[in-house]
Amino acid sequence: MAVIHELLGYKNIKIFQDEEKFRFSLDSTLLADFVNIKKHTKKIIDLGTGNAPIPLFLTLKTDAKIIGVEIQKEVYDLAVKSVNINEFNKQIEILNRDIKDVYKEVGANTFDVVTSNPPYFKYLPTSNINKNDFLTIARHEVLITLEDIVIESKKLLKDGGYLYMVHRVERFGDLVNDLNNHNFGIRRIKFIYSKVTSDNALLVLVEARQNKKNDIVVEKPLYIYNEDEDYTDEVRNIFNFKKEYRDIWYNIN
């Protein structure tokens, strides 16, 4: 059953969720926060938008036109409801489409920014998949691979356009290879740690530019939880959380 939640601590923005089928993750919010909007940014597209957390969050940063692409009809319906309840119809458009070849409908080489929180896990016969088909498609490369998303981003972006992605650290090598193989230069990297006491990073945020050389800046890491297992101040600022907020269902994928 679909329910309405606030978009984290942003009380003026609502999002439709389905607690049994699909809810957005912390990863998407961190990615949206990581996006660096330029003055000339006019068109943004979010690939695999889910119930549209990234487009919704980006409205806090830009007036640019935002398109979200989601292949799963039931999840797409949640995104549409979220856009409608916030009256963002003039800024955000949600498409129920396959990411592959979506450029034929929305325009090739016309976007300034592509964002994507892709499926993290390779899909193998031995994969430990979720019984929920919606989550399986969201988390495993059943319908699209990491390289597919890089290829489609190249078709969508203007020359020099920006691609922003979040991924698991264990797939970082695959991401770097795919970006380099398709002529994306990596510009910014930020590693995400679950706790301030964690030895190893869990996620990585990446900014890359089409048809540019690697010119990498590694930003200071982000820690999700402090020693008290509460959100760190940096994460609370991203979420716009006040001190009393604590909503534990915003989990990392």
DSSP track, 171-233: GHHHHHHHHHHTTEEEEEEEEEEEETT-SS--EEEEEEEET-----EEPPPEEEE-TTSSB-H
Could you count the other beta carbons within 10 Å of the beta carbon of residue 57?
25
pLDDT category at 32 given cuts 50, 70, 90 is: very high
Which of 27, 24, 30, 31 minimizes the C-alpha distance to 7? 24
Distances (CA, A) of 199 to 66, 83, 113, 158: 37, 39, 33, 39
- What pLDDT does 241 receive? 55
Average pLDDT, the chain: 86
> What is the distance between the alpha carbons of residues 32 and 237, in angstroms, rounded to a whole number?
13
User: Which sequence spans correspond to the domains of the chain?
Assistant: 2-239
CA dist 121 to 30, 131, 168, 171, Å?
19, 15, 9, 8
Q: Give the three-class secondary structure for 161.
A: strand
Between residues 24 and 18, which one has the greater pLDDT?
18
pLDDT surpasses 50 at 47: yes
CATH code for the domain defined by 2-239? 3.40.50.150
Computed from CA positions of residues 28, 24, 57, 179, in that sequence, does the dihedral angle turn out positive or negative? positive
Average pLDDT over residues 49-63: 95
Q: pTM of the full predicted structure?
A: 0.87
Exposed (0-12), middle (13-18) or buried (19+): which is 198, by Cβ within 10 Å?
A: middle
